[in-house]
Amino acid sequence: MTSTDWKVRRLHPQMDAALWREIRLEALKVAPTAFASRHAEWKDRPLRDFSEWLNGGYYFAAVAGERALGIVGWTPISHTTTRHRGQVVSVFVRPEARRQGVGDALFDAVVAHAKMHVRQLELGVGSDNAPARALYERKGFSVTGTHPRAYCHDGVFQDELFMVRALDE
């Protein structure tokens, strides 16, 4: 698969809810320790809930035909004193689409869009998720701290690394 076989586009809450639902559920199933949400919490929810999720931020997908190969979003942190910050969320690339530039292209789209709205992007990544961390570092994010035992998946604790990228430098 080459980058000419897919393209990155912003997702629309009403038109793309089914596409979002399908890949988000796969993400929660394939990489359960990469997310705070669980597959069991979302698998039976109505499509309306997935549409509302998309309505809460800016989400992008790398799409081939009618199938999403990868997703990423960002949401503003909208308190009065934090409006300059955005949070990267819901990062996932299907296993068969990895190492083909999908993650890089998705982050390029998110950063370009976020630069029009905020001055800083932030994200959290599991300390044991080396491939994701490598992508984030390649895209200019730096580790700024650790939240010990941030997640507990099936009785196993996982630390979360905080990463930040300034967009106005």
Give residue-wise pLDDT tens across range 14-31. 999 999 999 999 999 999
Instruction: Identify the burial level of 119 via C-beta atoms within 10 angstroms of its C-beta, where 0-12 means exposed, 13-18 middle and 19 or more buried.
Output: middle
Q: Which domains are assigned to the chain? A: 3-166 (3.40.630.30)
Give residue-wise pLDDT tens across range 128-143. 999 999 999 999 999 9
Q: Of 24, 107, 11, 104, which is closest to residue 61 (Cα–Cα)?
A: 11
Mean pLDDT of 29-45: 93
Provide the pLDDT confidence category of residue 1 given band limits of 50, 70 and 90: low
Note the pTM of the prediction, 2 decimals: 0.93
The pLDDT score that the predictor gives to residue 40 is: 93
